[in-house]
Amino acid sequence: MYANPPMEQIFPEALRGVQLERLKKTLSWAGKKSPLYRNKFRDCQIEQADIVSLEDLERFPFTTLEELQQLPAADFLTLPYSSIVRVSLWEHPQHMIRLYTAGDVTVHVEMMARVLTAAGVHHASVVGILGDMADSGLMDTQYALELLGATAVPLSTEYERVIRLMDDVGIDTIIGSSRRVLRLVVQAQAAGRDIAEYPVGKILCLSETLNTPLKNHIEKRTKTRVYNLFSSAEFGCLGMLYPCDAHAGQHFQEDYFYPEIVAFGGSEIIREPGRMGELVVTTLTAEAMPVIRGRTGQTVMREAVPCACGRTLLRLTTPLGTI
């Protein structure tokens, strides 16, 4: 199933056209409005007008992981607070404040609709959202579920309440961080319940890394199918990458983000499939806090073989294999 078939199955050349148009706008916007990028672009003496192809992005400076994690939100912010509709505190791997316009929220909800649909969520699904609903990513998830017509069940972080809801409501899908899912398993066991006996058929586990050995552990404990979902505090969203039913890596939302794979500790661009490097990401539609060539610290490689699910968006895998 697809939430947005024209984009998820877009032809490569058409996609490059979309990316280039959005990249030019993003670089112009960031260079004029963001204090950080205004200074960065001035120092390297490059302007948006110099961009005639996607490859020209390589002339722009990287944004380091340390900058993404340690600089205040105001350094990235392009708009006054009067244009901001949401402020969210991301707590992992460390505290980061991210701000959003109405356009940013709309994009993130659409991305999450793709994520959920790829995992098999549909209008008849009953989805428990495990966590604090002050979390921007979980808020986007609830809106996306409502957009799909699915039933959203905010479960909170009070595990007695979570178990009560699971006893009374036929939840078939759970989404939450890996650590919260594991804690739910423990709390249910302490209450004399076995999570495996509930009608939960799939769990979407949020993680700060693209792959984690916790996936197999959670699958064994819950007897469910687990989808690892990359939760990026640095970019303030959940849906940048997403797995499908083929479970052969993660699809990258290339119409909203531009990916590069770069040699570790250097600037060489890795173009060939099957070679590991660091994932570098440029936002293509972010309004409040655009990021240009952000180094994620995530190890990935490009897959050349088309995915069995039929999506044409870039597919990435990690050293631990499929995700």
Task: State how far the Cα of 305 lies from the Cα of 284, in Å rounded to an integer.
Answer: 25
For residue 257, pLDDT over 80 is answered with: yes
Mean pLDDT of 210-230: 86
Q: What are 109-167's pLDDT values in tens digits?
A: 999 999 999 999 999 999 999 998 889 999 999 999 999 999 999 998 899 999 999 99
Q: Tell me the Ramachandran region of residue 223: left when phi exceeds 0, alpha when psi lies from -120 to 50, beta otherwise.
A: left
Closest CA to 125 of 150, 162, 94: 150
Report the pLDDT value the prediction gives residue 45, as an integer from 0 to 100: 85
Tokens of 156: 């909170």
Strand 294-302 relative to strand 277-283, pairing: antiparallel
Cα 128 to chain centroid distance, Å, stands at 19
Report the pLDDT value the prediction gives residue 271, as an integer from 0 to 100: 94
Q: Who contacts 127 (Cβ-Cβ below 8 Å, separation ≥6)?
A: 116, 121, 141, 145, 150, 151, 152, 153, 171, 172, 173, 174, 175
- Phi, psi of 110, rounded to the nearest 5 degrees: -65, -40
Mean pLDDT of 220-248: 91
Q: Tell me the Ramachandran region of residue 298: left when phi exceeds 0, alpha when psi lies from -120 to 50, beta otherwise.
A: beta
Report the pLDDT value the prediction gives residue 322, as an integer from 0 to 100: 45
Task: Give the residue carrying structure tokens 């017509």.
Answer: 149
pLDDT band, residue 207 (cuts 50/70/90): confident
Asked if 273 and 302 touch (Cβ cutoff 8 Å), the reply is yes
For residue 204, pLDDT over 90 is answered with: yes
Closest CA to 54 of 30, 32, 24, 29: 24
Start-to-end CA distance of the chain, whole Å, equals 19
Query: Between the CA of residue 32 and those of 41, 43, 72, 234, what are the distances in Å?
Result: 10, 14, 18, 21
DSSP 207-221: ESSS--THHHHHHHH
Mean pLDDT of 6-28: 97
* 3-state secondary structure (DSSP) of residue 265: coil
For residue 89, pLDDT over 50 is answered with: yes
pLDDT band, residue 50 (cuts 50/70/90): confident
Mean pLDDT of 14-28: 97
Report the pLDDT value the prediction gives residue 323, as an integer from 0 to 100: 44
Strand 315-317 relative to strand 257-262, pairing: unpaired
Report the pLDDT value the prediction gives residue 320, as an integer from 0 to 100: 63
Task: State how far the Cα of 202 lies from the Cα of 225, in Å rounded to an integer.
Answer: 5
Judge if pTM exceeds 0.75.
Answer: yes
Report the share of the chain in percent with pLDDT over 90: 81
* DSSP label at residue 101: -
